[in-house]
Amino acid sequence: MTTREAPNPFRVRVAEETLDDLRARLARTRWPDEAPRAGWAHGAELEFVQRLVEHWRLRFDWPAREAKVNSLEQFLVRLDDLDLHFVHAPRRAPDPLPLLLLHGWPGSFFDFHEIVPRLTDPERYGGHSVDAASVVAVSLPGFTFSYAPGQRRLDVAEMADVCARLMIDILGYPHFVVHGEDLGAYVAARLAFDHPEAVLGVHLGLLPLRPGVTGQSDDSPEHRAYDEELRRWKREESGYSTIQGTKPQTLAFALTDSPAGLAAWIVEKLHTWTDNDGDLERALDLETVLTNVTLYWVTGAINSSFWLYYAIRHDPWPLPNFLATPTAYASFPRDTRHPPRSVAERAFAIRHWTEMPRGGHFAALEVPELLAGDIAAFRRTLGSRSPGISADSPLSAG
Q: Which residues are catalytic?
A: 182, 309, 361
Does the pLDDT of residue 9 top 60, yes or no? yes
Where are the chain's structural domains?
43-213+221-381
pLDDT band of residue 119 (cuts 50, 70, 90) is: very high
Region at 384 (left for phi over 0; alpha for psi -120 to 50; beta for the rest): beta
CA distance 88 to 116: 9
pTM of the model: 0.94
pLDDT digits (tens, 9 = 90+) for 152-178: 999 999 999 999 999 999 999 999 999
> What is each CA distance from 344 to 8, 164, 332, in whole angstroms?
40, 25, 15
What's the half-sphere exposure (Cβ side, CA atoms, 13 Å) at 38? 13
Q: Which strand ranges, in their side-by-side order, compose the sheet holding 199-204?
A: 8-10, 74-79, 82-89, 135-138, 99-102, 176-180, 199-204, 323-331, 348-355
**Residue % of the chain over a pLDDT of 90:** 88
Q: What is the pLDDT of residue 1?
A: 37
Element (H, E) at 355: strand 348-355
**Residue 83, SS3?**
strand
Nearest residue to 163 (alpha-carbon basis) of 110, 108, 85: 85
pLDDT band of residue 212 (cuts 50, 70, 90) is: confident
Lowest mean pLDDT, pick from 75-89, 194-208, 220-234, 293-307: 220-234
Asked if the 43-213+221-381 domain carries CATH number 3.40.190.10, the reply is no
CA distance 240 to 163: 27
Mean pLDDT of the chain: 93
CA distance 305 to 200: 28
Lowest mean pLDDT, pick from 230-234, 289-293, 356-360: 230-234
- For β-strands 82-89 and 74-79, DSSP reports them as antiparallel
- Residue-wise DSSP of 85-154: EEEEE---S--S--EEEE--TT--GGGGTTHHHHHH-GGGGT--GGG---EEEE--TTSGGG--TTPPP-
Residue type, 344: A
Residue 28 CB neighbours (<10 A) = 9
Residue type, 326: P
End-to-end distance of the chain based on CA atoms, in angstroms? 27
CB 136 within 8 A of CB 72: no
Does the pLDDT of residue 396 top 50, yes or no? no
Scored b (16 or more CB within 10 A) or e, 39-54 reads eeeebbbbebbeebbe
**Backbone phi, then psi, for 105, in 5-degree steps?**
-115, 140
Residue type, 27: A
> What is each CA distance from 14 to 141, 294, 377, in whole angstroms?
20, 10, 38
